[in-house]
Homo-oligomer: A and B are copies of this chain.
């Protein structure tokens, strides 16, 4: 017997669209014991809310998230609003007994993220660090498990965008410190940090440099980090909105004793893998075309939206199997601890230990 999971989505922005798409698509690509029902879309802009609900298949709309959370016919509350609103909504949803999903970064402070993590401690929960679900990243994780990369020496992550340098672009909430909490540190580098923790384990210490290029902004337009990992490897992280030429270069590189790998989200169906095992003259970075089998035939690529479908599908599969799922709010909180350390390191100019 298939159980119906009734979703309420709080938020009507671009992340709301990506989540909506995932709810609609997941059952075609995953064999799940659940029917997913897009019950309520909740947002504060009535001028666009109905049209979005219709376009993306939501049955009802609502203006106040408190009303939504109070409804007994909702199983999952998905928080896809600006960062400063995450904590209050997610905690209330958890207290109302809901399964809770939340966009990244989980919060604007470690106080908030700890409280959120505690609030969902006995509820299934997920943070939308969707890039863990890129097929190439999943393959890399399994290669690391199989010791194909080996003891790690270096981890390197970039999240480079260019729109900060576009004067025609109006300010939005992502450039408002009171709402976003930070600039690229929370918005972009949080993805890189989640991948780093997922692939290479805890970060011990950080040094950081932040820069605001735009006059009048309070947020970091660029954040640069040096890190020591608990496993002895070292890392560099760089996030910026001023990397002219880079639309959305979310890239990582990892070098170990047995191999190496490179990934770039702009070419997201590829993993470059270097195997140190063959004779030296046959060693080279290998271009693997990785597009998850659950979607289309081999060699037929998937896109951005499939990372959300896979995150949702894997969560629901874990739920059905009563298995733990990551990234959860605990994962989100751990990223927040590193973000916090980076901000302090940038202020002090000195090395800071991650709590």
Taking Cβ atoms with an 8 Å cutoff, the residues of A that contact B are 14, 17-18, 20-21, 24-25, 27-28, 55-57, 139, 153-154, 156, 160-162, 165, 207-209, 211, 213, 222, 224-228, 232, 234, 236, 238, 240, 242-248, 255-260, 265-269, 273-276, 281-291, 295-306, 349-351
Contact = CB atoms under 8 A, between A and B. Distances in A.
Given A160-B255, A236-B238, A273-B284, 12 more contacts: A14-B297, A161-B299, A225-B226, A236-B236, A242-B255, A248-B298, A269-B303, A275-B282, A286-B287, A295-B305, A300-B304, A350-B350
| Most chain B beta-carbon contacts within 10 A, residue among A24, A213, A299 | A299
A207 B207 CA distance: 7
In the complex, the 7 A-B pairs of residues with the closest C-beta atoms, listed nearest first: A248-B299, A247-B299, A245-B274, A349-B351, A245-B260, A303-B303, A300-B304
Contact of A300 (B153, B248, B289): B248
A284 B282 contact: no
Taking the full assembly, how many copies of this chain does it contain? Answer: 4
A209 B203 CA distance: 14
A287 B288 contact: no
Contacts of A207: 207, 209, 226, 349
Contact of A209 (B162, B228, B297, B350): B228
A14 B207 CA distance: 37
Contacts of A236: 224, 236, 238
A286 B282 contact: yes
A147 to B, nearest CB: 13
Contacts of A222: 153-154, 234
Given A207-B226, A244-B153, A257-B165, A284 B276 contact: no
A296 B17 CA distance: 9
| Most chain B beta-carbon contacts within 10 A, residue among A208, A243, A259 | A243
21 contacts: A24-B24, A25-B25, A27-B55, A28-B57, A139-B281, A154-B238, A154-B243, A213-B232, A224-B236, A226-B226, A243-B260, A244-B257, A244-B276, A268-B301, A281-B290, A283-B288, A284-B287, A301-B304, A303-B306, A349-B350, A349-B351
Contacts of A260: 243-246
Given A224-B236, A234-B224, A351-B350, A243 B153 contact: yes
Nearest to A241: B153
A30 to B, nearest CB: 10
Contacts of A266: 269, 289, 299, 301
Given A28-B21, A209-B207, A266-B301, A240 B287 contact: no
Given A24-B24, A208-B226, A306-B303, A256 B285 contact: no
Nearest to A275: B282
A72 to B, nearest CB: 28
Nearest to A280: B298
Contacts of A245: 255, 259-260, 274, 276, 283, 285
Nearest to A235: B224
Contact of A291 (B256, B295, B300, B303): B303
Given A222-B234, A259-B245, A289-B247, A305 B299 contact: no
Contacts of A14: 296-297
A256 B276 contact: no
